[in-house]
Structure 1
Amino acid sequence: MAESPVEQWQLDLPGHTLTVALFKDVTNASSLREQVMAGSLEPECALVNAALVPDALVLRAAAQKALAAQQRGALRCKTAHAELVFNLSGSKHIGETLQRYGINPECKHLLAARFDATPAEAAALRGLVAGTPAPLSELPQLADEGLLKKYLKVTAEELSVGGLAEAQLMRIAARDC
């Protein structure tokens, strides 16, 4: 398997990073989902359906919000990684959101993300997914516009002033208001 291009972002909360890898044509989604559900995924990370993330900024915003909730002791999910996946949606329904935006057996493209990964954990992250590594710059081309419009309930009027990424960012920011 080729080495996955892994990116590491410094987040706005001091001392925290998010390590992210994108994979296309994933073949072990069912196995990974089983590991997530059993709580046995090593290293623990967020596994996100890349077809529902139209821009890396959306993932970054969800991660920032997850870390802020963790620092306040206000996580709605069991872990900050699950909270990251939950934050990708404007919905308040945790189970539905994790099923849609997280890994599912039909996932063809996948984002793997870990907070504050050590070099060994970053390497392990690359080895988790059986798929073709891809740079994050390919993320917009993998987005499923139909599903995003359906899940986010985006209107034509909304799209006349911005794109799907902006619509999703608005929902991430406004959900708790």
Structure 2
Amino acid sequence: MFDLDEDTGASIEIKLYKNVENVKLIRQRLIKGDLNCCIVKPSLIVDPFQIVVAANKAFTSEKRTTKTVFTEILFNLSISKNITNSLKTFGIDDSDNNIIVVLVNERGKDNKHVCSDIQGEELELVLLKNFSDVNAIRKVYKIEDKEFFNVPLLDSVVSRIAVKDFL
């Protein structure tokens, strides 16, 4: 469980799954709005903190760019200001079988049922690094060699997420 800015009263849970057999169904339910969560490709995530920063930004922003807090988290993970590209890049597609589920815990709302339909193996979040694709992350976040070899990857990624609105 990761607490967000205390003024929001919200926290998030991040769950990692591998070998998910029903991604297509989950994606369809997500698009229809039947699942109150955000589902992310683990290959583009360096560390859970990356998701925490995007979620915190979604909750503390005065105005949302997207329709829901869940799509806002995906949008905030991206450096692109194009909503469709952001959702396609960080959201899951039918061919994915490894996923990250981000559950938002707000006062008075229960979302424990969301993960009950996932037909896959839940893993400890510390194993996330085994699913990260450094080359894909570098490409998506436009991290060149000089920066990559001199700055921790997480710092580079989080910096880009934080300053996206100012560029």
Cα distance in 2, alignment partners of residues 102 and 125 from structure 1: 17
Q: State the SS of the aligned residue for 1:176.
A: helix
Matched, 1:130 2:123: no
The answer for the alignment partner of 1:62 in structure 2 is 54
Q: Which runs of 5+ in 1 are unaligned?
A: 1-7
1:16 pairs, out of 10, 14, 26, with 10
Moved more, 109-118 or 84-93: 109-118
**TM-score normalised by length of structure 1:** 0.85
Cα distance in 2, alignment partners of residues 164 and 55 from structure 1: 10
**TM-score normalised by length of structure 2:** 0.90
Q: Deviations over 1:38-71 (max 9, x none)?
A: 2222xx11111111111011011011001012xx
Cα distance in 2, alignment partners of residues 128 and 50 from structure 1: 19
1:93 maps to amino acid: N
- Tell me how many residue pairs correspond in the alignment: 164
Q: Deviations over 1:66-106 (max 9, x none)?
A: 1012xx2x100101111011111111111011011011112
1:51 maps to amino acid: S
The answer for the alignment partner of 1:145 in structure 2 is 134
The answer for the alignment partner of 1:114 in structure 2 is 103
1:86 maps to amino acid: F
Instruction: Give the percent of matched residue pairs that are identical in Structure 1 and Structure 2.
Output: 26
The answer for the alignment partner of 1:5 in structure 2 is none
The answer for the alignment partner of 1:97 in structure 2 is 86
Deviation at residue 13 of structure 1 after TM alignment: 3.0
Deviation at residue 120 of structure 1 after TM alignment: 4.9
In 2, are the aligned partners of 1:32 and 1:103 still within 8 Å (CA)? no
Cα distance in 2, alignment partners of residues 119 and 99 from structure 1: 28
Cα distance in 1, alignment partners of residues 21 and 10 from structure 2: 31
Matched, 1:33 2:27: yes
2:163 pairs, out of 151, 157, 174, with 174
Q: Which runs of 5+ in 2 are unaligned?
A: none
RMSD of aligned Cα (Å) = 1.7
